[in-house]
C-alpha cells in the first residue's frame, strides 16, 4: 500500500525520510513517474517536497542561491538570472517542452543524475556547490555525480539547493546542446563554457560536457591547453583534438560513441567562440 | 489502502475526492470524474495528449500525482467551451482543419490556451514553442499553429 506524505517544513522532511528510507522523494515527478511507470502500483511511498516553500527561493546578488524546488521554467524566465547568469537560463530553457519545464525542478534534475541533465554543465562551470540536508553537507557539484543515475548522496539526504558566485563582467558563457530536435530532446552531447577575458587574453576558462561520459565532466586538459592563450592566436584545432581525446562517450539510442566524439569537437569550438564573444558584453536586460 | 482526501477545483467546480497515493491526476480526471477529454498517449511525459492547466501552468497530467494537487485549480478541455458555444480556439481548429484523428487535440488546445493566457499576441516562434510539448501524428503542425494564430487575432 503506497503511502504519501507531504512535509510542510524542511526539518519535518528530514525527519520523515530518516525514518522512512524506502519512501521516494517526489518533486516535479517528471523523472520519477517515468522510471517508475511500470511499478507505480508497487511503490512503498512518496514524500512530496513540492510544497516546501523553503526550497522555492532564488537569492540574487554576489552569491546566487537557487532552491531545489525551483522549476526549469522559473529559472529560464527569471529576469535577474537572465541578465546576470544567462548561461543557467539557457540550460533550463533547453529542458523538454513547456509542460516539463513547468514541473521539473533543479533538485530533481541533479538528484536524477542523468549524464544528459541540462542544468549540470552550466552549474559546474559556474563552480556551483550543492547543498544537502539531513545530514547537512556542501559539496562542489563537480564531485556530486558518481555514475549514471548515481550521486554521493546518502539515502536520507535531500538536496536543498545550489549556490555559486555571480559571474564577473569580463566573463563570457555559452551552452550548446545537440539533440534530435529542438524541443523535447534529451542531449546527445552538450557543452557549457565559461571564459574570462582580459586584454585580449583568455585568462581563465571552464568547460563541462554532458552526455559524453558517465557523469557531466570537466575537460580539464583542454582548459589547461587554452588557459592563458591570446585570443588572436588560439590553438583551436589542437584544443578540439584534446577535447575529443579527453571524453569517453558510449553508444546508446541517441547516438554512437563515434558520432558523439566527432560531434563534441565542433560543438565545443562553437561554444568557446560564442563564450568569448559574450565576454564583457552586457547582455540586454 | 492508504486513501487520501483531496479537494480539486476542476473547470470551476469543486470536487471532494479520495485518491490513492499513487494515483495520477490523469487517472483521477478520466476514471473518477469521467472527464475523458484528457487523453493518455504515452503515459511518460513525451506526447502531451494529457496536458491540462494546473494552477495556471501547463502540465502533463500523467506526470503529476493527484495527492500533490490538494486545493489546486485544474482546467481541462471540457472547460473550454460547450457544444453550442465553442471557445475561439476550438472554432479556429475547425476553421483551419487543425484536427484529423483528434487524439492530440485536447492537449493542443490546452497548450494553446496556456500560451494565450500568458501571451495574447504570440509570434510564430512562440506558438511553436508553446505547442512543442504536444505531438501530433496526423494533422501536421502548420494548420494547428495557424489556428492558434487566428484564435489570438480573434480574441484581441
Ligand atoms: C518528456 C521529458 C523530457 C525531458 N527532457 C529533459 C531535457 O531535455 N533535459 C533534462 O535535463 N531533463 C529532461 N527530462 C528529465 C526531467 O524532466 C528533469 O531531470 C527534471 O529536472 C526532474 O525534476 P523533477 O522535479 O521532475 O524530479 P522528480 O521526478 O520529482 O525526481 C527525480 C529524482 O530525484 C529525486 N529528488 C527530487 N528532488 C530531490 C531533492 N530535492 N533531494 C533529493 N532527491 C530528490 C527523486 O527521488 C527522484 O529519484 C525530461 C523528462 C521528460 C519526461
Ligand atoms: S500521456 Fe502524458 S505526456 Fe503522453
Ligand atoms: S490529429 Fe491525430 S494526432 Fe493530431
Q: Does A99 touch chain B (CB under 8 A)?
A: yes
Was domain B3-79 assigned CATH 3.40.50.720? no
* % pLDDT > 90, chain A: 82
Q: Which pLDDT does position A254 carry in this prediction?
A: 80
The correct CATH number of A171-278 out of 3.40.50.2300, 3.30.1130.10, 3.40.50.620, 3.30.390.50 is 3.30.390.50
Instruction: Kindly report the CATH number that applies to the domain delimited by A3-164.
Output: 3.30.465.10
| pLDDT score at B2 | 66
Contacts of A102 in chain B (CB under 8 A): 57-59
Q: Where are the domains of chain B?
A: 3-79, 88-155
Q: A37-51, A78-92, A200-214: which range is least confident on average?
A: A37-51
- Burial of A24 per CB tally in 10 Å (0-12, 13-18, 19+): middle
Using CB atoms, pick whichever of B51, B65, B115 lies closest to residue A46: B65
pLDDT digits (tens, 9 = 90+) for A48-70: 999 999 999 999 999 999 999 99
What number is the average pLDDT over the span B70-97? 96
- Alpha carbon distance, N-terminus to C-terminus of chain A: 51
pTM > 0.90: yes
List, in order, residues 6 or more apart from A130 with CB less than 8 Å away.
A110, A138, A139, A140, A141, A144, A159, A161, A162
Inter-chain residue contact A26 with B58, CB threshold 8 Å: no
- Which atom of ligand 1 is closest in space to residue A185's alpha carbon? 8
Q: Which residues of B touch A30 (CB under 8 A)?
A: 45, 60, 63
Measured by CA distance, the residue closest to atom 28 of ligand 1 is: A29
* CB of B41 shorter than 6 A to ligand 2: yes
C-beta of residue A177 within 8 angstroms of C-beta of residue A108: no
Q: Is the ipTM of this complex over 0.90?
A: yes
CA distance B44 to chain A (A): 5
Q: Is the pLDDT of residue A282 over 50?
A: no
Distance from CA of B64 to the nearest CA of A (A): 6
The binding-site residues of ligand 3, defined as CB within 6 angstroms of any ligand atom, are: B 99-104, 136-139
Instruction: Indicate which ligand has the atom closest to the C-alpha of B147.
Output: 3
pLDDT, residue A280, reads: 67
Q: Domain spanning B88-155: which superfamily?
A: [2Fe-2S]-binding domain (1.10.150.120)
Of A37-41, A86-90, B82-86, which range is least confident?
A37-41
Q: Quick check: bond before A135 cis, omega within 30?
A: yes
Amino acid at each position: 500500500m503506497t503511502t504519501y506524505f507531504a512535509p510542510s517544513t524542511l526539518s519535518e522532511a528530514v525527519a520523515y525520510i530518516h525514518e522512512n528510507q524506502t519512501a521516494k522523494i517526489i518533486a516535479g515527478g517528471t523523472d520519477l513517474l517515468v522510471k517508475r511507470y511500470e511499478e507505480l502500483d508497487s511503490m512503498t511511498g512518496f514524500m512530496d517536497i513540492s510544497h516546501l516553500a523553503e526550497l522555492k527561493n532564488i537569492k540574487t546578488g554576489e552569491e546566487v542561491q537557487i532552491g531545489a524546488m525551483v522549476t526549469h521554467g522559473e529559472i529560464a524566465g527569471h529576469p535577474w538570472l537572465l541578465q546576470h547568469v544567462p548561461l543557467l537560463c539557457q540550460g533550463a530553457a533547453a529542458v523538454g517542452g513547456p509542460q516539463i519545464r513547468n514541473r521539473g525542478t533543479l533538485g530533481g534534475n541533479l538528484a536524477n543524475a542523468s549524464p544528459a541533465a541540462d542544468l549540470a554543465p552550466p552549474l559546474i562551470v559556474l563552480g556551483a556547490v550543492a547543498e544537502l540536508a539531513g545530514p547537512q553537507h556542501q559539496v562542489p557539484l563537480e564531485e556530486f555525480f558518481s555514475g549514471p543515475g548515481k550521486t554521493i548522496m546518502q539515502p536520507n539526504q535531500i538536496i536543498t539547493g545550489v549556490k555559486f558566485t555571480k559571474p564577473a563582467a569580463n566573463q563570457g558563457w555559452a551552452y550548446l546542446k545537440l539533440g534530435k530536435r529542438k524541443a523535447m530532446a534529451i542531449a546527445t552531447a552538450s557543452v557549457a563554457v565559461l571564459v574570462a577575458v582580459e586584454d585580449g587574453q583568455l585568462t581563465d576558462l571552464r568547460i563541462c560536457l554532458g552526455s559524453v561520459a558517465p557523469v557531466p565532466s570537466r575537460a580539464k586538459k583542454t582548459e589547461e591547453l587554452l588557459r592563458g592563450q591570446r585570443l588572436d592566436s588560439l590553438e583551436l584545432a589542437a584544443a578540439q583534438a584534446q577535447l575529443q581525446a579527453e571524453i569517453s562517450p558510449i553508444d546508446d539510442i541517441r547516438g554512437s560513441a563515434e558520432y558523439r566524439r566527432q560531434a563534441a569537437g565542433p560543438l565545443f569550438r562553437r561554444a568557446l567562440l560564442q563564450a568569448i564573444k559574450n565576454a564583457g558584453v552586457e547582455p540586454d536586460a | 489502502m492508504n486513501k487520501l482526501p483531496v479537494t480539486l477545483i476542476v473547470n470551476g467546480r469543486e470536487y471532494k475526492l479520495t485518491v490513492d497515493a499513487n494515483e495520477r491526476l490523469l487517472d483521477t480526471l478520466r476514471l473518477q470524474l469521467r472527464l475523458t477529454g484528457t487523453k493518455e498517449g504515452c503515459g511518460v511525459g513525451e506526447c502531451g495528449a494529457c496536458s491540462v492547466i494546473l494552477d495556471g501552468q501547463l502540465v502533463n497530467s500523467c506526470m503529476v500525482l493527484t495527492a500533490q494537487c490538494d486545493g489546486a485549480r485544474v482546467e481541462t478541455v471540457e472547460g473550454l467551451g460547450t457544444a453550442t458555444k465553442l471557445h475561439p480556439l476550438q472554432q479556429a481548429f475547425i476553421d483551419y482543419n487543425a484536427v484529423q484523428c483528434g487524439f492530440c487535440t485536447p492537449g493542443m488546445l490546452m497548450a494553446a490556451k496556456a500560451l494565450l493566457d500568458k501571451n495574447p499576441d504570440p509570434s510564430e516562434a512562440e506558438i511553436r514553442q508553446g505547442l512543442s510539448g504536444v505531438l501530433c501524428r496526423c494533422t501536421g503542425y502548420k494548420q494547428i499553429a495557424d489556428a492558434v494564430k487566428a484564435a489570438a487575432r480573434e480574441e484581441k
